């Protein structure tokens, strides 16, 4: 596993290019000409925390106006060694009705509306229309990071391989409530016992507005933002550096699809990410199903 710092700029800068070249930092440049007046330029390069002189190189770049992102790159060995994976899918569309999907989809008891901790699905997800997932067998929805939808081919192969911990249901068309036949929601009902090892993860506690905008909106609606409106519970931010680490014992005897006990997310969004066994990933890789993404989960 390597921690990568990705830098990006859309402006040509001779000084920067010279510094990068002198220090033998590999660059990717993409230039496109659309017409006389419309040209685009993208320069991208990566610095890795484990490379020699990382701090020195990072220092060189600080005088330039660069977009900066921290990401994690896993090695083939990280994937080979892992027994469990954090499974995500490509989002396609938004849950409906857009302004009220949360109240429409989830039970409203035992939930904090400020941070979403405690959410529990009560009704089928509603979509605008029959989705067009192209070649993807797996797909998701924007705003919903802990549910996935699957087409029949993949669902049947997982079932026939005796993959455990899955339950299926059909989403519906928002206006007509007609079931959508071409995809099924793959529900993961098993929640593990607590066992997250939160090394390096940042946490937030639900005790105040998440940002000024939310505060102003509440005030303009005449709401008194009392501390009583906040649940005081804790959630972990999804890691940008590294991955999720759990106590290995909590996975013993568990089905192939599970969710952790702990809640993740930031601001007004909380979810329990979907974790899958190596068996699930192997099937999906073998079948070359698209729309599925895996990050190794570390166990201690």
DSSP state of 217: H
Q: Identify the CA nearest to 169 among candidates 223, 230, 124, 133.
A: 124
Among 114, 235, 272, 281, binds Zn ion (CB under 5 A): 114
If the CB atoms of residues 114 and 119 are measured against Zn ion, the closer one turns out to be: 114
Whether cis (ω within 30° of 0) applies to the bond prior to 257 is no
Q: Identify the CA nearest to 171 among candidates 184, 187, 157, 190.
A: 184
Residues 93-112 that bind Zn ion (CB under 5 A): 112
Contact track, Zn ion, 33-52, x by CB under 5 A: --------------------
Structure tokens at 18: 């010279």
> Which uninterrupted H or E stretch holds 235?
strand 234-236
CB of 232 to Zn ion, least distance (A): 7
Q: Please say whether the beta carbons of 139 and 155 come within 8 A.
A: no
CB of 115 to Zn ion, least distance (A): 3
CB of 159 to Zn ion, least distance (A): 37
Cα–Cα distance between 3 and 242 in angstroms, integer?
Answer: 7
If the CB atoms of residues 115 and 158 are measured against Zn ion, the closer one turns out to be: 115
If the CB atoms of residues 115 and 192 are measured against Zn ion, the closer one turns out to be: 115
CB of 235 to Zn ion, least distance (A): 8
Contact track, Zn ion, 259-298, x by CB under 5 A: ----------------------------------------
CB of 208 to Zn ion, least distance (A): 10
Please identify, among the stretches 144-152, 220-228, 229-237, 288-296, the one whose residues bind Zn ion according to the rule CB under 5 A: 229-237
Contact track, Zn ion, 149-188, x by CB under 5 A: ----------------------------------------
How many positions of this chain bind Zn ion (CB under 5 A)? 5
- 3-state SS, one letter per residue, for 38-107: EEEEEEEEEEECCCCCHHHHHHHHHHCCCEEEEEEECCHHHHHHCCEEEEEECECCCCECCCCHHHHHEC
206 part of the interface to Zn ion, by CB under 5 A = yes
If the CB atoms of residues 69 and 237 are measured against Zn ion, the closer one turns out to be: 237
CB of 223 to Zn ion, least distance (A): 16
115 part of the interface to Zn ion, by CB under 5 A = yes
Please identify, among the stretches 59-67, 102-110, 203-211, 240-248, the one whose residues bind Zn ion according to the rule CB under 5 A: 203-211
Q: Please say whether the beta carbons of 282 and 127 come within 8 A.
A: no
* Cβ neighbours of 291 (radius 10 Å): 23
If the CB atoms of residues 209 and 273 are measured against Zn ion, the closer one turns out to be: 209
Pairing of strands 183-187, 144-151: antiparallel
Q: Identify the CA nearest to 83 among candidates 212, 222, 276, 255.
A: 276
CB of 230 to Zn ion, least distance (A): 6
Cα–Cα distance between 206 and 227 in angstroms, integer?
Answer: 9
Q: By the criterion CB under 5 A, which residues form the site for Zn ion?
A: 112, 114-115, 206, 231
């Amino acid at each position: 596993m390597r921690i990568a710092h990705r830098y990006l700029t859309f402006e040509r800068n001779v000084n920067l290019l010279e510094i990068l070249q002198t220090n033998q930092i590999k660059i990717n440049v993409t230039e496109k000409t659309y017409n006389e007046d419309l040209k685009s330029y993208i320069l991208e390069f990566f610095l890795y925390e484990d490379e020699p002189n990382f701090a020195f190189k990072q220092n060189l770049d600080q005088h330039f106006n660069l977009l900066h992102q921290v990401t994690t790159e896993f090695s083939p060995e990280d994937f080979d060694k892992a027994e469990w994976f954090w499974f995500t899918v490509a989002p396609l569309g938004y849950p409906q009705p857009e302004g009220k999907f949360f109240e429409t989809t989830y039970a409203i008891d035992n939930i904090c509306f400020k941070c979403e901790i405690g959410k529990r699905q009560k009704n089928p997800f509603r979509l605008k229309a029959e989705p067009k997932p192209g070649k993807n067998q797996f797909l998701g929805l924007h705003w919903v990071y802990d549910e996935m939808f699957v087409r029949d081919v993949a669902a049947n192969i997982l079932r026939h391989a005796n993959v455990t911990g899955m339950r299926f249901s059909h989403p519906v068309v928002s206006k007509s409530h007609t079931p959508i036949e071409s995809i099924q929601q793959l529900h993961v009902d098993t929640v593990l016992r607590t066992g997250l090892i939160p090394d390096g993860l940042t946490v937030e506690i639900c005790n105040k507005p998440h940002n000024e905008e939310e505060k102003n909106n509440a005030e303009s609606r005449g709401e008194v933002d009392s501390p009583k409106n906040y649940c005081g519970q804790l959630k972990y931010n999804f890691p940008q550096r590294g991955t999720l680490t759990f106590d290995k014992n909590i996975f013993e005897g568990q089905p192939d699809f599970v969710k952790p006990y702990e809640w993740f997310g930031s601001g007004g969004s909380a979810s329990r990410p979907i974790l899958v066994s190596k068996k699930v990933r192997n099937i999906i890789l073998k079948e070359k199903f698209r729309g599925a993404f895996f990050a190794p989960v570390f166990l201690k």
